[in-house]
């Protein structure tokens, strides 16, 4: 490119196509190229009737090193396509072959009738290669550095999705292995994992696990529940008792939350004090909200 168009490209390539060719050609081509590690810009170039082809391609080329144009019957039937593409091809010749044509369901005679200059440009044809094979050929042209890093068989694995499936399987395996270090209710990470005695004589030991959410388990049994556990105790599982502290000059009242259920006992009881009975009870609600992480409790 020249003049104001000599900008540092943001993308390796863009894909210009008729909207009718998105599903069978443009999308699989873009997805495969991205799997190879290329930066691809293509969604903004789905052309509809009335779109300005030259403006779309000019905008794409200004941000990309190469432009892939999918030539098809739907493409050449777009309004103004022939007139605007003629100017584009002329500029492409001047700038050194930045346009990479892909023919789809179209003959050389049709392309020749549409644009004689474009018909003389070496193109990839979907009747001879599927989108994955075309992506490999484009990779070799656009990013030879990446192409040389991989054997052709490896590129075929990536293009077919086999490599991506292998990666997903490995991620699933690692997630399975790491699941024991995550809270089973909210996926919070484990913060403490130690051996601890299970009896006063310390004859039997087991593992105590503490998670960042507050969930604690000992020997696989819940010691303190996770706030995301559906069985996490509700405030009505506590009996609230208030009492006056005559010897206290300021915090004259206390409110105790006494567990009524097994899960509430595992969370623990708690006591708060205040200058008035209402303040002490309000602090109990605030304490529960902090423990349950439900500030609207």
List, by residue number, the catalytic residues: 84
Instruction: Tell me the C-alpha distance between 274 and 75, whole Å.
Output: 77
To which H or E segment does residue 15 belong?
strand 11-18
To which H or E segment does residue 205 belong?
strand 205-211
Instruction: Tell me the C-alpha distance between 234 and 264, whole Å.
Output: 8
CA 274 distance to own-chain centroid: 48
To which H or E segment does residue 217 belong?
strand 216-218
Question: CA nearest 273: which of 246, 255, 247?
Answer: 255
**Gap between the terminal Cα atoms of the chain:** 63
The DSSP line for 136-191 is HHHHHHH-HHHHHHS-HHHHHHHHHTHHHHHHHHHHHHHHHHHGGGB-TTT-PBEE
To which H or E segment does residue 41 belong?
strand 40-41
Sheet-wide strand order for 221-224: 190-197, 205-211, 216-218, 221-224
Residues facing residue 209 across a β-bridge: 193, 217
Question: CA nearest 229: which of 296, 145, 293?
Answer: 293
């Amino acid at each position: 490119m020249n003049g104001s168009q000599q900008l540092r490209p943001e993308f390796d390539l863009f894909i210009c196509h008729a909207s009718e060719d998105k599903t069978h050609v443009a999308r699989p081509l873009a997805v495969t190229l991205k799997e190879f590690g290329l930066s691809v810009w293509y969604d903004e170039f789905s052309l509809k009737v009335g779109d300005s082809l030259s403006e779309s391609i000019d905008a794409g080329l200004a941000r990309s090193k190469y432009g892939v144009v999918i030539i098809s019957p739907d493409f050449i039937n777009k309004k103004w396509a022939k007139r605007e593409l003629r100017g584009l091809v002329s500029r492409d010749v001047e700038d050194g072959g930045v346009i990479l044509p892909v023919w789809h369901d179209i003959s050389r005679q049709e392309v020749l009738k549409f644009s004689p200059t474009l018909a003389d440009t070496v193109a990839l044809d979907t009747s001879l290669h599927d989108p994955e094979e075309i992506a490999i050929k484009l990779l070799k042209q656009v990013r030879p550095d990446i192409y040389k890093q991989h054997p052709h068989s490896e590129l075929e694995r990536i293009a077919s999705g086999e490599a991506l499936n292998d990666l997903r399987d490995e991620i699933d395996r690692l997630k399975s292995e790491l699941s024991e270090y995550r809270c089973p209710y909210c996926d919070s990470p484990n913060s403490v994992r130690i051996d601890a005695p299970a009896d006063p004589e310390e004859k039997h030991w087991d593992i105590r696990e503490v998670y960042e959410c507050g969930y604690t388990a000992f020997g696989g049994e819940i010691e303190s529940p996770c706030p995301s556990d559906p069985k996490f105790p509700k405030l009505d599982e506590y009996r609230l008792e208030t009492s006056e502290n005559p010897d206290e000059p300021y915090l004259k009242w206390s409110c105790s939350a006494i567990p009524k259920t097994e899960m509430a006992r595992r969370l623990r009881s708690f006591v708060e004090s205040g200058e008035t009975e209402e303040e002490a009870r309000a602090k109990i609600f605030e304490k529960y909200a902090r423990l349950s992480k439900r500030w609207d409790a």
